[in-house]
Structures are given as C-alpha cells and as structure tokens.
Amino acid sequence: MNVAILGFGTVGVGVYDILSPRSDINVKYVLDIVKHEGLTAVSTTDFNDIVNDESVDTVVEVIGGLHPAYEFISSALKSGKNVITANKMLVSSYYEELTALANANGVALRYTAAVGGGIPWLVNLERAARCAKICEVSGIMNGTSNYILDAMHTDKADFSECLKTAQDLGYAERDPSADIDGIDTLCKVVLSANIAFSTVINKDDVDVAGIRYIKDCDIAACEGMNRVCKLLGVAYDRKDYVSIFVEPTFVSEKALEASIHTNLNLITFEAEHVGRESFYGFGAGRYPTAYTVVEDCIDVAGGVKKAYNNVMNSSVIKNSDTVHKYYVRTDYNNDWFASISKENYANGFITEEVSVKDMHSFCNEALAAGKECFIAGIREL
C-alpha cells in the first residue's frame, strides 16, 4: 500500500517514523508547507502531486484544523483514495458529508486517533455497537484539561499557573481555547455518539461548559465534598432523543475517573448485555497518536474499506430531561437561580436537581452579562 502523509508536524513525523521500516506500507509522499531533505519519501508542497498519482491509494491527514484539510480529504475521497485522519474538528464538523463520500466511492474513512489519541477507543466502540445497544458514552477526553485539573488538586496551584506549566510541557497550545473551553472534548464526544448511536449530531446543538473560569476555591469546595473535578463529555441515547453535553463534574473520589492523573484519558461506554467498559491511556502525544494512525493504515491495508458507521439517522438533541445537582460559583442572580439554590457551600451554591439545559443557559447568560460563573455537575458515576 502506498500512502501520502499530509502534514509533517508532531504526529506526521511520528507516523513517518513508524511506517518507514515497514515493507507492507510504503510512504510515497510527505506534504508540508516546506520541502524536507533526507526522507525516503518524495517531499512536496503541492497536493496535486498526490491526488493525481494513481499509485497512492491512501492519504493520511495530520495537518489539523478545517482548511485546507477539508479540501484535501474531500478531493482524496472523490479520487477513490482511502483517508485516515486524526482531525476531530474536521470530521465532527463534516461528519455526514465525509462519511457519505467514503461510502459512495467505496473507500475507507478511518479516524481512530481523533478520539483518545493512542487509545483504541473508536474501533472498539464500533465493534460493540454492531451487536449491543449502547446507552451511554462518557469520559475524560482531553489530556490538557485533565492535566490542569489534576495539578490544581495535587499541587494546590491556581489555574493560570497550571495552564502555563501545561504549555511549557507541550500539553497545551499557545492558544489553549479548544482545550479549556471544552471544544476539543465536544468534538470527541460528538464523534463517539455518532458511532455509538448511529446518528448525526450537530456540534452547535450541544451544551458546553469548560474550565476557563475555575479557581482554587472551587477545587477546595470539590475536595470538601470528597470529590475530584474532571472535565467530562457525556452522551445518552434516550431512544427518542440524544442527551449530550460537556461540563466540569465533581465525581466521587471512589469513581474510576477520579484516579486518572496528568494528561491521561479514560473513555467509557455502557451497553446492554455488556455493562460498562472503559478504555484508558494517553490521549495525545507524537507516538501514541501516530501508533493509532498506523493501526488504521494496517486495517485498511488488510481490506477495511468503509467508514465506521453506514447508518446516519438524524437525532433530536434534548438536555431538558437530564437532571442532576450542580455546584455554582457566580456573582450573577435571577429569579430562576434563586429558586433552585438549595444551600450555600464554600464560595458557591449547591443547587437542587436541575436540567443540564437550564443550568448551561444560566451560565451563558451570566457570562454574557460580564459576570463570573463557574458550574460543575455533581453526579455519581
């Protein structure tokens, strides 16, 4: 099998390093904004060299972002080339279109590394969904946010210090918005739910709260409840609708999620006849992510010629019936919040059981008004 690697950054170099010694998969091209010397592959800056070469049957996209990755992947699929990517933003944004393109052209579209990095999560989720009804997918899907929250608990440092350390270690980008605002987790839980529930979810319909506004006093409040704060992506199949959201969560210190430290991930599904199964490992990094990309290459070389799911039912997204208690720290108030604030706790409040939709709407309203607001669900896992 001849492959072309699009992008020669952290993951692209890792994929090249792992594939180069293999005899069954040949790296024929490496595409980057500059040419590279000393490669066994052809170094090019022109995607047309790749798409017009009929001997290239598989394109590995590790550029990231929406453009030009979308144009490259679409063109490759239309040209009858398999596509393997680690790009969760791209696939979650164009899921229906790209899946349909792969199916129409009889080629593979695989993106195991897009959710969980080095964890073989999506391929196992796909296998489980073939024979069991999956009711829930959830978990710690972003290593950067988990590193920050874990450091705030263990080092008793404030958010800005922990974020800077994460950036210094290469866990967080210079612009960490996607990680700390929950967008990265959003993309991953959407892709997971699409495969688990055979559906198509619009990211814009999902309620999202990140950790940007967390303070050390919130961590102290969490620990006072014998809990640990984690950023979770959660999706439930409720038969007639899907409940899906991203939010900081105070989990019991006895929960499996509470034991996940540094930049590690833990992702779980719950299925009929099977119960809960969890997958743990490095959610990012050069070689963990590249390893999973190469696993996809090997699957395609072995004959896999499809996307993960050929069924794409439209879904109603509804979070108004999913309820639990919340910890809320805010200097904003309205009649609704006053009515559901059950008790003062530390610097915040503990609410009665309220819907995810209502609490996220309140938080967004508070932030839009220029007020402080941090929310965290209080749930048993």
User: The tokens 């040419």 sit on which residue?
Assistant: 35
337 with 326: CB under 8 angstroms? no
Nearest residue to 163 (alpha-carbon basis) of 148, 151, 174, 175: 148
Dihedrals φ, ψ of 140, to 5°? Answer: -90, 105
Is 188 a catalytic site residue?
A: yes
Distance CA 78, CA 89 (A): 20
Note the Cα 71 to chain centre separation in Å: 22
Which pairing describes strands 58-61 and 82-85: parallel, antiparallel, or unpaired?
A: parallel
Contact status, residue 70 vs residue 94, Cβ threshold 8 Å: yes
DSSP state at residue 8? -
* Rounded Cα–Cα distance for residues 325 and 348 (Å): 13
Contacts by 332-338 with C-beta closer than 8 Å and gap 24+? Answer: 332/365, 332/366, 332/369, 332/371, 332/372, 332/373, 334/362, 334/365, 336/362, 337/362
Q: Which of 28, 188, 230, 357 is catalytic?
A: 188
Q: Where in the sequence numbering do the catalytic residues fall?
A: 188
